[in-house]
């Protein structure tokens, strides 16, 4: 059974930084992604890290501010979020997908999801 457990959310002022982590268990070799969702809106793509390899993909809204990375030895993926804005406020979800199963930008590509962690950016 695959489990994804996120941590690292919280409250931060605009311009600040947070680092989210997601530890996977039960399977290795997954494409890992981060999505976010605010109430009343669709869950949206934030970033993805390809497997095999290390290619990264970002939503335009976070390019240059967020960085996704992975520690293969510990089966953990991080999302470093810098220069945070109030519009980054959302519940952030870690997701895992089987390689070559579809576009990393689409929610439907991902088979496994974490429980979500709240990120709140105050102005």
Per-residue pLDDT of 65-108, as tens digits, reads 999 999 988 899 999 999 999 999 999 999 999 998 899 999 99
Q: Please choose, from the candidates 108, 103, 47, 99, the residue with its C-alpha nearest in 3D space to the C-alpha of residue 77.
A: 47
Instruction: Supply 101's token pair.
Output: 């199963």
Q: What is the pLDDT of residue 12?
A: 98
Per-residue pLDDT of 16-57, as tens digits, reads 999 999 999 998 889 999 999 999 999 999 999 998 888 999
* pLDDT over threshold 90, residue 123: yes
Written as one string, the DSSP assignment of 51-94 is: SSS--EEE-TTTTTTEEEEEEGGGTEEEEEE-S--GGG-EEEEE
Q: What is the pLDDT of residue 4?
A: 97
Q: What is the pLDDT of residue 95?
A: 98
Q: What is the pLDDT of residue 28?
A: 87
């Amino acid at each position: 059974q695959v489990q994804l457990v996120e941590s690292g959310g919280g409250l931060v002022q605009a311009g600040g930084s947070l680092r989210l982590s997601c530890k996977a268990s039960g399977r290795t070799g997954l494409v890992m992604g981060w999505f976010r969702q605010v109430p009343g809106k669709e869950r949206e793509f934030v970033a993805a890290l390809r497997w095999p390899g290390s290619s990264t993909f970002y939503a335009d809204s976070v390019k240059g501010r967020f960085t996704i990375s992975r520690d293969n030895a510990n089966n953990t993926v991080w999302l470093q979020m810098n220069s945070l804005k109030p519009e980054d406020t959302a519940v952030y979800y870690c997701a895992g997908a089987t390689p070559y199963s579809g576009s990393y930008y689409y929610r439907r590509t991902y088979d496994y999801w974490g429980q979500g962690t709240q990120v709140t950016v105050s102005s």
